[in-house]
């Protein structure tokens, strides 16, 4: 039987004692059970507080009964005691550790190693290492198997010692030293895989950090370039037309003979007043950003509007998704548009626009700086 095989004992191992040392027997099971029950009761009394409820007491009684059944083949719960303790899990670990330290009967300690190995609680690592020096080879073999699940660095050292020095066999023929070597190989492989996985995770984290730094540097560079361009207006070139030579003769100015008084102009009955078209206005229905271009880019925010602000609508994109606006009156104190002409683009979802707004085709968006 190898370390990966299921733990199945012949009938004589589950019943009468069968050990190469020949120093233990199941005849002392009632005495050991009673001493273990008394120790468990003492442990429960010291661990539980004064306000332990009835459910805790019932659970501890159940655990003690199963612990007693581990080493008593005649107990009605003997066959299922290990499975029931494994199902209880962590609450059963202290009692199983106490059973592991009991040298007689050996069957109780052996079956306790089986339950602790299946539960996999790290608290059992130290007691299982101590069980590697148990006088019964069956118990030592069970402790080796359990350490494959809960073993630590100290267990590696002790397992090397067992693999090197323990030449005994179990009552069903398994070599304790060979099993220890197999468990060592398994634990070392698991440790190596864990180290490789940790190195891979560290490498991935470093790559992600490097990518994030490169991205952040690009964003900062673009932001710096945009800030350097804010407020800088290049003057348009001034073109001066050359003088045009004319061949038309100059008019001869004759001296005036007399100055006639101008005739009075007729007074119109109704004065004509020029009509100035008012600029289309609307309101901001919700607060939002004002952008230099009609697009949501991380670096083109030039101001903000607040809900209820009066806005003057200067233009709208052909698709109707953006409006070029200027602050009207009244507006909130926090509203502002930081541009040369005081205008900027807002999303159509932020405003209530008037009916007639001139369509304006914005210039193409600048390509991102490589």
212-237: per-residue pLDDT in tens?
889 898 899 888 888 877 765 555 55
129-152: per-residue pLDDT in tens?
988 999 899 999 999 999 998 877
DSSP string, 45-112: HHHS-TT--HHHHHHHHHHHHHHHHHT-TTSTTTTTHHHHHHHH-GGGHHHHHHHHT--SSHHHHHHH
pLDDT at 155 over 90: no
pLDDT band, residue 355 (cuts 50/70/90) = confident
CA angle (147 as vertex; 28, 104 as ends), nearest 5: 5
The two structure tokens encoding residue 337: 């548009």
Q: Mean pLDDT throughout 48-60?
A: 74
295-315: per-residue pLDDT in tens?
999 889 999 999 999 999 999
Instruction: Identify which has the larger pLDDT, 5 or 222.
Output: 222
End-to-end CA distance of the chain: 67
Whole-angstrom Cα distance, residue 152 to residue 155?
Answer: 5
Domains of the chain: 11-191 (1.25.10), 281-352 (2.30.30.40)
Could you give the 3-state DSSP secondary structure of residue 344? Answer: strand
Q: What percent of the chain has pLDDT over 70?
A: 69
What pLDDT, on a 0 to 100 scale, did the predictor assign at position 242? Answer: 53
The two structure tokens encoding residue 219: 């964003």
pLDDT band, residue 364 (cuts 50/70/90) = confident
Highest mean pLDDT among 101-105, 256-260, 266-270, 317-321: 317-321
């Amino acid at each position: 039987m190898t370390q990966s095989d299921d733990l199945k004992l012949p009938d004589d191992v589950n019943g009468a004692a069968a050990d190469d040392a020949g120093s233990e027997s199941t005849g002392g099971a009632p005495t050991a059970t009673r001493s273990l029950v008394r120790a468990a009761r003492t442990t429960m009394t010291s661990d539980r507080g004064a306000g332990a409820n009835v459910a805790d007491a019932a659970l501890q009684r159940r655990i003690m009964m199963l612990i007693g059944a581990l080493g008593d083949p005649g107990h009605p719960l003997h066959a299922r005691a290990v499975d029931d303790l494994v199902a209880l899990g962590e609450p059963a670990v202290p009692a199983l550790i106490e059973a592991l330290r009991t040298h007689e009967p050996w069957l109780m300690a052996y079956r306790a190693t089986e339950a602790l190995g299946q539960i996999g609680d790290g608290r059992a690592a130290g007691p299982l290492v101590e069980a590697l020096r148990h006088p019964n080879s069956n118990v030592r073999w069970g402790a080796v198997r359990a350490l494959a699940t809960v073993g630590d660095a100290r267990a590696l050292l002790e397992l090397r010692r067992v693999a090197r020095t323990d030449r005994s066999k179990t009552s069903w023929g398994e070599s304790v030293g060979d099993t220890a070597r197999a468990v060592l190989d398994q634990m070392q492989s698991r440790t190596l895989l864990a180290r490789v996985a940790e190195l891979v995770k560290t490498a991935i984290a470093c790559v992600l950090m490097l990518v994030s730094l490169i991205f952040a540097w690009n964003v900062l560079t673009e932001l710096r370039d945009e800030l350097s361009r804010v407020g800088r207006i290049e003057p348009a070139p001034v073109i001066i037309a050359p003088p045009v030579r004319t061949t038309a003769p100059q008019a001869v100015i004759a001296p005036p003979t007399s100055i006639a008084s101008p005739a009075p102009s007729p007074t119109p009955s109704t004065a004509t007043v020029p009509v100035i078209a008012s600029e289309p206005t609307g309101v901001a229905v919700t607060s939002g950003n004002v952008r230099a271009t009609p697009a949501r880019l991380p670096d083109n925010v030039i101001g903000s509007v607040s809900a209820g602000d009066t806005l003057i609508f200067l233009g709208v994109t052909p698709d109707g998704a953006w409006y070029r606006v200027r602050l009207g009156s009244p507006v909130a104190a926090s509203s502002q548009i930081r541009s040369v002409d005081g205008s900027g683009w807002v999303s159509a979802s932020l405003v209530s626009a008037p009916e007639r707004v001139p369509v304006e085709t914005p210039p193409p968006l600048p390509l991102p700086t490589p």
